[in-house]
Amino acid sequence: MVNVAILGFGTVGSGVAEVLTTNGGLIDRRVDDLVRLKYIVDVRDFPDSPYKDLFVKDFAVIENDPELDIVVETIGGAKVALDFTIRALKAGKSVVTSNKELVATHGCELLRLARDNGCSYLFEASVGGGIPILRPLGSCLAANQLEQITGILNGTTNYILTRMIRAGLTFDQALAEAQANGYAEKDPTADVDGHDACRKICILASLAFGRHVHPDQVPTQGVRGVTLADADYAASADYKIKLLGRCLRRPEGKVCAFVAPHLVSGDNPLSGVEDVFNAIAVTGNAIGDVMFYGRGAGKLPTASAVVADVIDIAKDLKKDRHNGWEEGAPDLVVSADSLVSPWYVRAQISADQARQRFGEVQLLARGGAPAGETAFLTAPMTEPEIRGKLAGLEADSLFRVLA
C-alpha cells in the first residue's frame, strides 16, 4: 500500500483525485501495489465532495502519519506551499508538485532536502502542464550535451496571440475573451507580463545545464507591447508572433536565458502551435532538434503529469532519482547581447530611411498601414548592433526573429 495526500483541493488538486480514482486500476497494475488517496488537506469544507471523508485541515496529521508516503502539493505560491513542502520532506515523505513558482525559486534547496532525507521531489507538471518534458530531458536525452531550449510555455498568452492573428482582435479584446473563457485570470499579470514563462524557462535551464537559474536573473518581456499591426506585418511574410522562453548553453558553464516575443518563421514547427497549446523544442548535440507538444495547462492534463510522478515514486519509494542541480551564482546567467538574429522593426520612418540605417531589409506590408509607418526584417545582428542602428529613433516595436 502506498498512501498519498493532496494539499490544496483546487483545479489541479481535484484533478489529481479524479485521475487517481478513474485510472486507479491501471495505476495499481503499473506500481505492482495499491496506491491509495488517504488525505486531502484544505482549509475549506467540501461537504458534497465524493472525497469528503478524506479531508483534514491540519497538515500535522500528514506530517506525523508514518504510513503516509507521498504528498502532492497543489497549493501554489511560495509561502504556505514552501513551509509544507519543507516539513513533508523533513518527515521523509516524497513531494510531487505542479508549483512552478516554488520550484523556480527554491528548487535547488528542496531537491537537496529531499536527497538528504531519502525521499524525492518531482515536478513534471510545473512545466508544460501534461506534456512530458522534464523526465525526457533527464532520461531520454541523457546521452546529449544540451545546447538550447526554446518554448511556448504559457498557454494564456499563446491563446491571446492566436486570437489576434486569426480573428483580428486587439490585444485587449483577445485578453477579455481569454478571461471570459477561463484561460486567463482576473489579474493576468503573471501570464501577460511573462513571469509564468520566466519561471518555466528557469526550471528547464536549471535541469538542462545543471545549475540553478533564478527568475530574477532572466530578462522578461511579456506580450503587452504586441499589436495587431505587428501580427499583420508578420503574417504577410509567413511569420507568427509567439512569446518564447529561451535558454542557451554558453562557454565556460554560463547560461543565457530570457523571455520575449519573437517572430517565428512558418517553417519552424513552433509557429504551428496555436491556442492554449504549449510546445518545447530542445536541441542536443546528438539528437539535433526534438519538440514536445500538448496542453500546457488544464485540470486533467496537469493532473496526468502529477500522477505520473506519483507512480514513478510509488514504484520505488527509496530510490535516489539523481534529479537535482547545483547552486546558481550571480554571474551564472549572461546577457543575450552576443546572440545574433534577424530583427523585426516597426517605426515611423520611410523605407529609404530604413535602408539607410539598417542596410538590406525585407519590407513588410499590411492593409490600412498609416503613412509614414514602415515595418521590416533586418539581416542577422546582435541587440547592441540593432540598438546602435536605431540611435535615437524610437521603434514602435522591436522583436527578435526565430528562423
- Among the listed residues 362, 354, 339, the one whose alpha carbon sits nearest the alpha carbon of residue 265: 362
**Helix/strand/coil percent split, the chain, to 5:** 40, 25, 35
315 is catalytic: no
By the rule CB under 8 A, 155 interacts with its own copies: no
Instruction: Pick between residue 260 and residue 281 the one whose CB is nearest to its own copies.
Output: 281
Residue 251 touching its own copies (CB under 8 A) = no
Question: Which of 21, 139, 350, 362 forms a contact with its own copies (CB under 8 A)?
Answer: 139
Q: What is the DSSP string of 358-374?
A: HSS-EEE--TTPPTT-E
Cβ contact 202:189 at 8 Å: no
The pairing of beta strand 255-265 with beta strand 239-249: antiparallel
Q: Is 308 in the site for its own copies (CB under 8 A)?
A: yes
- Which of 223, 259, 310, 398 binds its own copies (CB under 8 A)? It is 310
CB of 393 to its own copies, least distance (A): 37
Containing 293, the helix (H) or strand (E) segment is strand 288-295
The stretch near its own copies (CB under 8 A) out of 50-58, 111-119, 136-144, 192-200 is 136-144
Q: Is 180 in the site for its own copies (CB under 8 A)?
A: no
Burial of 65 (0-12, 13-18, 19+ CB in 10 A): middle
Q: How far is the CB of 135 from its own copies (least distance, A)?
A: 5
Tell me the backbone φ, ψ of residue 380, rounded to 5 degrees: -65, 135
The DSSP code for 103 is H
Residues belonging to the chain: 403
- For residue 44, state whether it binds its own copies (rule: CB under 8 A): no
Q: Please, which residue, 51 or 292, has the CB nearer to its own copies?
A: 292
The C-alpha cell that represents 314 in the structure block: 510509488
Q: Is 119 in the site for its own copies (CB under 8 A)?
A: no
Largest CA distance in the chain: 75
- Whole-number minimum distance, CB 297 to its own copies, in Å? 11
Helix residue spans in 77-188 (DSSP H): 80-90, 100-116, 134-138, 155-167, 171-180
Q: Distance between alpha carbon 170 and the CA centroid of its chain, in Å?
A: 24
Interface with its own copies (CB under 8 A), residue from 284, 324, 328, 342: 284
Q: Which of 288, 359, 380, 384 binds its own copies (CB under 8 A)?
A: 288
Residue 305 makes contact with its own copies by CB under 8 A: yes
In the list 191, 230, 232, 312, the residue contacting its own copies (rule: CB under 8 A) is 312
What's the min distance (Å) between Cβ of 246 and its own copies? 18
Say if strands 35-41 and 2-7 run parallel, antiparallel, or are unpaired. parallel
Alpha-carbon Rg for the chain in angstroms: 23
Q: Which amino acid is at 342?
A: P
Q: Does 90 bind its own copies (CB under 8 A)?
A: no
- Of 240 and 246, nearer to its own copies (C-beta) is 240
| Between 270 and 336, CB nearer to its own copies | 270
Contacts of 392 (CB under 8 A, 6+ apart): none
Beta carbon nearer to its own copies, 43 or 143: 143
CB of 164 to its own copies, least distance (A): 18
351 contributes a contact to its own copies by CB under 8 A: no
Single-letter residue type at 289: D
293 binds its own copies per the rule CB under 8 A = yes
- In whole angstroms, the minimum distance from the beta carbon of 268 to its own copies comes to 9
Instruction: Return the range that interacts with its own copies (CB under 8 A); candidates 71-79, 134-142, 150-158, 346-354.
Output: 134-142
162 binds its own copies (CB under 8 A): no
Per the residue annotation, which of 38, 100, 200, 242 is the catalytic one? 200
Q: Which of 204, 202, 206, 200 is nearest to 136 (CA)?
A: 204
Strand partners, 245: 151, 259
Residue 226 within binding range of its own copies, rule CB under 8 A: no
Q: Which of residues 65-84 bind its own copies (CB under 8 A)?
A: none
Cα separation, 227 vs 221, in Å, equals 14
Distances from the Cα of 212 to the Cαs of 19, 96, 132, 150, 338, in angstroms?
A: 32, 19, 21, 18, 22
* Binding of residue 131 to its own copies (CB under 8 A): yes
Positions touching its own copies (CB under 8 A) are 15, 19, 22-23, 26-27, 30, 32, 124, 130-132, 135-136, 139-145, 269, 272-273, 284-295, 298, 300-301, 303-308, 310-312, 315, 322
| Residues assigned a catalytic role | 200
